[in-house]
Chain A
């Protein structure tokens, strides 16, 4: 058996690699696909653009970790820069740096997929089975209630006081010590990310994983022959190129990079590759307390408030959590500027932050396209830049109903923080707020909240190569195979047909697991 983890240090040049299946990307989708497919007897190669990392790389220092392990050094954003899009670009993908919340896809979301997209294979019964299986592998469990950090307890207690439904969440960890640095990778190997679960399983069955290796193009020859151009980055910006000759290709590069790769490879027939981007837009409030809150310590997102998930009766709304607040996020999002802001930030340990995550797509039609990922050149009106060459472009406009939900989320967050004892609450609007009583919480609805007037970010892109039966409005079928390019599969967040309305890792893992079960593997 050939067990190989190939990094720039261990690579022996060869211009051609052959495998039955080549998987592009080692994140949630790519890892589970590798583990399941290698088990069926196929030879599998993974190409991962990001570096190989283990415990010793997780130094807990944002300036060492973020530029190295995040896509675009953490600076990836929509064209108008109104929304940063955080993604891991590293061995294990975003799961290596994610905040561990592990929730199964809600039943009403699955019903929508069955009814509107005719995804009969993804009904509640089937998905529950797969969610259970992947959750067991990831050691998903309910967080011990004694482990909430002050910030999460603030969210829980405040919600209970106001009668909002809140619960202790689930995550994928073992012996987590609550260091609070999930976003920088787990130094303690407590987080059960892909590196420690499905990639281990895949490696133990004998696959090859090339890290620091980017797939730059897929040459589609036929349903049983594709050639992938790979570029491995070596030290000092040197690189080597080679080809992977394969019978099946699985693109698992994430909902941003997958459509870009498919477009570069001209695998775009049908016209929907890159469209229908969903982001679960996030904004937040800073509550300032008398007591210490230590928002940068402890287990992130250990409480969920789901009271408002169904605001208009069609399954759209928002939920509340608390972030893993590394200083760079606090610095970027804390409102205002100047000396006053500096002085306030000195009280960071007395702040509790609540984030609102919106299930976007509430426009009423699930076919609506608020967002798109594509290559562009020329003048970009969104940010005033000009480029002769092609550059990746992410366009996203939050719809009116989604913005209404987001603002309602901020209003509710303000009330919860105040109910838990906050002296003052600030939203992340440019126009500075300083809310001291619940009556004033409504003010959030009247503040300018357009692009870059209200701070927003996303860590949940999905939908850009979505699954469906209709070949005109979707990209892949129920087995994740592309409608127009048999032999090429998409298995990552891109396939999720509508925003799942919960943190998406378990949804992506379960969908891929199901797709492989029903596919001809």
Chain B
């Protein structure tokens, strides 16, 4: 992780504190099922820029959440581990966040939903995420031969009717 973050351009980061960046990457990795190397620095830039645009009271809450979710106390209580968040095995981290997701105490689920939505936002806003789900995406500047997608066993592929 340390090596990976060597290429991070700090000048592009407006919201995250230095310590939070590995946590945000590992949370993203666990929820999205995409290794942090694959997520890439673009993921952090996108996440950072989105959160930075939120209202100031929300930004404050999100700092608290990233700190709280990876705090020793929480890891002991909910993760049953003395290891730090960065040093846990992938499986343990997965189990730990699942416990947040499935907790009977609603505030944990609230925390989980927040990091899930933020991580999903960042990844599926990137070209990489869009390509992965084969998002037909932008139709601008392509000529539309037919406006409709027809139902059937072989419906039209948008790529067929959107001419480059």
Question: In the complex the two chains form, is A431's CB within 8 Å of B102's CB?
Answer: yes
- List residues of chain B with CB within 8 A of the CB of A179: 139, 144
Interface SS of chain A: loop
Question: In the complex the two chains form, is A337's CB within 8 Å of B124's CB?
Answer: no
How many Å from the CB of A100 to the closest CB on chain B? 14
CB < 8 Å neighbour of A176 from B110, B123, B147: B147
Question: In the complex the two chains form, is B31's CB within 8 Å of A59's CB?
Answer: no
Which residue of chain A lies nearest to B64 when distances are taken between CB atoms in the complex? A385
Q: Counting CB contacts under 8 A, is B117 at the interface? A: yes
> Which of B1-9, B78-86, B148-156 is near enough to bind chain A?
B148-156
Question: In the complex the two chains form, is A72's CB within 8 Å of B54's CB?
Answer: yes
How many Å from the CB of B94 to the closest CB on chain A? 6
CB < 8 Å neighbour of B133 from A62, A349, A387: A349
Q: Counting CB contacts under 8 A, is A315 at the interface? A: no
Task: Give residues of chain A (38-91) contacting chain B, Cβ–Cβ below 8 Å.
Answer: 59-63, 67, 72-73, 75, 80-82, 84
- List residues of chain A with CB within 8 A of the CB of B57: 385, 387, 389, 391
Q: Counting CB contacts under 8 A, is A400 at the interface? A: no
**A298–B110 CA distance with the chains assembled, in angstroms:** 33
Q: Counting CB contacts under 8 A, is A234 at the interface? A: no
Q: Counting CB contacts under 8 A, is B55 at the interface? A: yes
- List residues of chain A with CB within 8 A of the CB of B61: 383, 385
Question: In the complex the two chains form, is A150's CB within 8 Å of B130's CB?
Answer: no
Task: Give residues of chain B (97-124) contacting chain A, Cβ–Cβ below 8 Å.
Answer: 97-98, 101-102, 106-107, 109-114, 116-117, 120-121, 123-124
CB < 8 Å neighbour of B158 from A59, A176, A297, A451: A297
Question: In the complex the two chains form, is B123's CB within 8 Å of A147's CB?
Answer: no
Question: In the complex the two chains form, is B121's CB within 8 Å of A337's CB?
Answer: no
Q: Counting CB contacts under 8 A, is B77 at the interface? A: no
Question: In the complex the two chains form, is A382's CB within 8 Å of B155's CB?
Answer: no
Which residue of chain A lies nearest to B117 when distances are taken between CB atoms in the complex? A332
Question: In the complex the two chains form, is B106's CB within 8 Å of A451's CB?
Answer: yes
Task: Give residues of chain A (384-422) contacting chain B, Cβ–Cβ below 8 Å.
Answer: 384-385, 387, 389, 391
- List residues of chain A with CB within 8 A of the CB of B123: 331
Which residue of chain B lies nearest to A67 when distances are taken between CB atoms in the complex? B53
Task: Say whether, besides A332-B116, A348-B133, A177 and B32 are in contact (CB < 8 Å).
Answer: no
Which residue among A149, A296, A337, A382 has the maximum number of chain B CB atoms within 10 Å of its CB?
A: A337
Question: In the complex the two chains form, is B106's CB within 8 Å of A147's CB?
Answer: no
Q: Counting CB contacts under 8 A, is A430 at the interface? A: yes
CB < 8 Å neighbour of B110 from A72, A82, A340, A346: A82
- List residues of chain B with CB within 8 A of the CB of A334: 120
- List residues of chain A with CB within 8 A of the CB of B94: 337-338
Q: Counting CB contacts under 8 A, is A124 at the interface? A: no
Task: Give residues of chain B (52-92) contacting chain A, Cβ–Cβ below 8 Å.
Answer: 53-55, 57-58, 60-61, 64
Q: Counting CB contacts under 8 A, is A327 at the interface? A: yes
Question: In the complex the two chains form, is B110's CB within 8 Å of A348's CB?
Answer: no
**A180–B148 CA distance with the chains assembled, in angstroms:** 10
How many Å from the CB of A336 to the closest CB on chain B? 9
**A188–B46 CA distance with the chains assembled, in angstroms:** 28
How many Å from the CB of A12 to the closest CB on chain B? 28
**A345–B130 CA distance with the chains assembled, in angstroms:** 11
Question: In the complex the two chains form, is B125's CB within 8 Å of A453's CB?
Answer: no
Question: In the complex the two chains form, is A332's CB within 8 Å of B121's CB?
Answer: yes
**A147–B102 CA distance with the chains assembled, in angstroms:** 41
Question: In the complex the two chains form, is B136's CB within 8 Å of A177's CB?
Answer: no
Question: In the complex the two chains form, is B116's CB within 8 Å of A73's CB?
Answer: no
Which residue of chain A lies nearest to B65 when distances are taken between CB atoms in the complex? A384
Question: In the complex the two chains form, is B151's CB within 8 Å of A349's CB?
Answer: no
Question: In the complex the two chains form, is A452's CB within 8 Å of B113's CB?
Answer: yes
Q: Counting CB contacts under 8 A, is B164 at the interface? A: no
Question: In the complex the two chains form, is B151's CB within 8 Å of A346's CB?
Answer: no
Question: In the complex the two chains form, is A150's CB within 8 Å of B124's CB?
Answer: no
**A360–B61 CA distance with the chains assembled, in angstroms:** 30
**A199–B140 CA distance with the chains assembled, in angstroms:** 25
- B interface residues with partner A (beta carbon < 8 Å): 30-34, 46, 50, 53-55, 57-58, 60-61, 64, 94, 97-98, 101-102, 106-107, 109-114, 116-117, 120-121, 123-125, 129-130, 132-140, 144, 147-155, 157-158
Q: Which 6 A-B pairs have the closest CB atoms?
A: A331-B120, A452-B109, A342-B33, A339-B33, A153-B151, A327-B124
Excluding A62-B125, A382-B110, 17 further A-B contacts by CB distance (< 8 Å) are A60-B138, A72-B54, A72-B55, A75-B117, A80-B110, A178-B148, A327-B125, A327-B130, A337-B31, A337-B98, A338-B30, A346-B133, A381-B107, A385-B61, A387-B57, A391-B57, A452-B109
A-B contact pairs, 23 of them (CB 8 A): A59-B140, A60-B137, A62-B125, A81-B110, A149-B148, A153-B151, A176-B147, A177-B144, A177-B147, A291-B155, A294-B136, A297-B136, A327-B124, A337-B30, A337-B94, A338-B33, A349-B136, A381-B107, A385-B57, A387-B60, A389-B57, A391-B57, A452-B112
